[in-house]
Amino acid sequence: MREILFRAKRIYNGEWVEGFYQNRFDVNEDIEHLIFWRKSYTVWEYAKIDPDTLCQYTGLKDKNGNRIWENDIVSCEHEKYPDDNPSEVYPLLPDPIKYKRNYAVEFINTGSSYGYRLRNKSIHFMITVNVIYNHKIEVIGNAFDNPELLKGE
């Protein structure tokens, strides 16, 4: 079963915090956005968070075992073969040309797709365990702290 976890930035110092998300009304009838986590067996702590930075855990991990969260930026390794028809020239395929491209992780809910996908401009595809393994996906940042990682792609 998948862990239902969230992360967001604390309001007072901008540090990331992970745990369980809850919103509630404070004494002034304003909505507070909180993340709770267990400090010990009987003690829970919480932090007020910026709801604009709220990200959900996808249930997947990258090639290094790091959790992949919504709004993360990942590096994805691709392969392509030379443009000429290698089966006519070579009895065996030549070595592919390898290159990397960065993608943002986003949640999608349309009539035909539901789940998490990798997106970069017009290129997008669903993220699965096979995609992570075959493309050697690695988390390199997130859209809030490192938006420049998606520039120029």
pLDDT digits (tens, 9 = 90+) for 75-117: 999 888 766 555 555 556 667 788 899 999 999 998 888 899 9
Contacts for 37-43 with beta carbons within 8 Å, 24 or more apart? none
- pTM here? 0.83
**Mean pLDDT confidence for 124-152:** 90
Q: Is the pLDDT of residue 125 over 60?
A: yes
C-alpha pair distances (Å), 70 with each of 23, 89, 104, 121: 19, 45, 8, 17
Q: What is the mean pLDDT of the chain?
A: 87
Tell me what pLDDT residue 88 has.
Answer: 57
**Whole-number CA gyration radius for the chain:** 20
Confidence of residue 51 (pLDDT cuts 50, 70, 90): very high
Tell me what pLDDT residue 91 has.
Answer: 58
End-to-end CA distance of the chain: 35
Those residues with Cβ within 8 angstroms of residue 63's Cβ, 6 or more apart along the chain or in another chain: 132, 133, 136, 137, 138
**Exposed, middle or buried by CB within 10 Å (0-12, 13-18, 19+), for 8?**
buried
Q: Is the pLDDT of residue 152 over 90?
A: no
Closest by alpha carbon to 68, among 147, 141, 151?
Answer: 141
CA distance 145 to 153: 17
Q: Is the pLDDT of residue 144 over 90?
A: yes
Tell me what pLDDT residue 110 has.
Answer: 87
